[in-house]
Amino acid sequence: MKKILLGLGLSLFLFGCESATQNTPSSEEEVLRIGAVNPLTGEATAYGDQTMNITNMVVEEINNTGGINGKKIEIIWEDGKCTGKDGSLAAQKLINVDKVNIMLVSCSMEVLGVAPITENREVLVFSTLATNPSIRDAGDFVFRSTPSDSSQGQVLAEYADAHFPKIGIISEQTDYAIGVTDTFVKHFNGEVLREDFLSSESDFKTRITKLKNSGVDALFLSPQTPTKFEILIKQLQEQNWDKPILVNDAGAGDLTVVRKYPEFLTNVELVGANFIAPSGPELDALLEKYQTKYGTDPRYISYAASTADGIHMLAQALETVDDVSDTHKIRDALYNIKDFHGLLGILSIDDHGEVNITHSLFRFDGENFVPLEE
């Protein structure tokens, strides 16, 4: 229907991976096993823990109301560590050992690492977290409930174009971060001074000093995780950075970090891109239940909403097919989802497996991110 496979099918080998299951039914006939590749360790657990919690919470609700046509869902979790390599190892284990034909895959790097394997085996992949633009063409069995970074990078670039002739960039070398940065550079017409860094790096003082002395008018930060974002913000503050800062939704989506630096970030005028779930009773109920069940609030409300919406869309597709072992039928049912009433609005899936959501701009006012009005 839509996609160009990113790579050749990979040879499948068996690899041992740590795994966990939830809501295991007693009878094999009652089970619908779904694999899940998710960052369970490392810095990306800021996303992974929340994604696993929301998924388990929604699946529990589905199981308590009859499951999928009488079958209870069992999620088999594997640690993809938000990397392509670990994601592909986890996928091979889920396919070869656990015999799943449906897989939830979280990070962009995991999705892009998994897709050549799953596409070759016609295993359906659904992501409620990944945003890299390349996922649009990752395969005919790949879907997501999050917006592409093509919209995120573009709205940030258009804002920068209108205000800053020369901009510095500090970008992490990951599929997600580079996806946003490349889109930004493509749509920005001014001068760019770009510094890319490896995820293993944590000292950015030299890069910050270089950009500060270069005469840039603003700085665009594109980190992979809030942990890396905070390291950057702390060192920018220590280096007395005084120009406006733009940030991707790894920073703009998480209030935990920015509220630690309210004076600095309001003085430099922090602007970020994000997609926001409209407030309402259904979102409030989700957040309240999350707080009650896990004793904390979700760090990324937008991704909490996209995860809940994604699981419900997948469940709707599964309920409409007469054979959940036939991924062609599940795939076609997902393509046919139109006007789905979700937490993120009225959602539809297009013929590229993409959901109709885009990013908007927000500024940090010292306490919250509020819509940017110009």
Extents of the domains making up the chain:
19-147+280-347, 149-274
Question: For residue range 21-78, what is the model confidence (pLDDT) as tens digits?
Answer: 454 444 455 899 999 999 999 989 989 999 999 999 999 999 999 999 999 999 999 9
Q: Summarize the chain as % helix, strand, coil (round to 5).
A: 45, 20, 35
- How do residues 188-229 score in pLDDT, each as one tens digit? 999 999 999 999 999 999 999 999 999 999 999 999 999 999
Domain 149-274 falls under CATH 3.40.50.2300: yes
- pLDDT value at residue 153: 94
pLDDT at 3: 53
Question: Is the pTM higher than 0.95?
Answer: no
Average pLDDT over residues 274-285: 90
Superfamily of domain 19-147+280-347: Response regulator (3.40.50.2300)
Q: Which long-range contacts does 294-300 make (Cβ < 8 Å, 24+ apart)?
A: 294/53, 298/50, 298/53, 298/54, 299/46, 299/50, 299/226, 299/253, 299/254, 299/255, 299/256, 300/46, 300/47, 300/50, 300/253, 300/254
Question: Do the domains 19-147+280-347 and 149-274 sit in the same CATH topology, yes or no?
Answer: yes
